[in-house]
A and B are shown apart, each in its own frame.
Chain A
């Protein structure tokens, strides 16, 4: 079974802090994704990566950056956290394909910015 592990289930940080959310997958997947989930808005894609050191912006990249130094690890970085970044963050991975590969999700990190 695919395992996608997010380093924290709950995280509380202060405005202006630099925040790191870590995600590791154990299935040698090429693709990794970061989403945020807010009530009534569904899942919105922040960034994704097709390969090591490669990244592409999703629908809402402002205020975020990412790092993928190793194939199994994809980090989301909030450069200067703000209260409007309080949300549930979900990481996912998938194998390379032609749009037909399902994404496998971690359990999420609920981030609160005070």
Chain B
């Protein structure tokens, strides 16, 4: 069974600084990978997804993520964070061939300081 690890429970960055959130997955084949964001009191919103092709994918709100097969990683990045980026971020991996379940990581909470 696949699994997802987000090693950082909580990250604090200054507004305007760059950001990288880590995600490692365990899956035998090429995975379907997703990043979601959850603002306080809200549901999850899709930031970006990777299925195949270009390993650097662009998402909404200025986020990007890079798939590295050799490292089994799919890290999320943003060059300059804004106070509104404070939220919880979840990485997820999808199964294939008609099974639409996602396995989520435990999340990384992002705090932005002025």
Chain A residues within 8 Å of B, Cβ to Cβ: 4, 31, 33, 40-43, 45, 48, 50, 58, 90, 92, 94, 96-108
Contact of A40 among B46, B51, B98, B106 (CB under 8 A): B106
Residues on B with C-beta less than 8 A from A97 are 98, 100
Closest B residue, CB atoms, query A41 = B106
Residues on B with C-beta less than 8 A from A90 are 43-44
Q: How far is the CA of A102 from the CA of B32 in the complex (A)?
A: 10
Q: How many residues of chain B are within 8 Å of chain A by beta carbon?
A: 26
Q: How many A-B residue pairs have CB under 8 A?
A: 63
- Do B96 and A105 touch (CB < 8 A)? no
Q: How far is the CA of A99 from the CA of B99 in the complex (A)?
A: 6
What secondary structure prevails in chain A residues at the interface with B?
loop
- Do A105 and B44 touch (CB < 8 A)? yes
Residues on B with C-beta less than 8 A from A107 are 41-43
Residue from the set B44, B45, B107 with the largest chain A CB neighbour count within 10 Å? B44
- Do B105 and A58 touch (CB < 8 A)? no
Q: How far is the CA of A31 from the CA of B43 in the complex (A)?
A: 17
Residues on B with C-beta less than 8 A from A101 are 100
Minimum distance in angstroms from B56 CB to a CB of chain A:
18
In this assembly, does B95 line the interface, its C-beta being within 8 Å of a C-beta of chain A?
A: yes
- Do B100 and A96 touch (CB < 8 A)? yes
Known: A42-B105, A42-B107, A43-B90. A99 touches B98 (CB 8 A): yes
In this assembly, does B11 line the interface, its C-beta being within 8 Å of a C-beta of chain A?
A: no
- Do A4 and B43 touch (CB < 8 A)? yes
Interface members, chain B 29-47 (any A CB < 8 Å) = 32, 34, 36, 41-46
Minimum distance in angstroms from B35 CB to a CB of chain A:
10
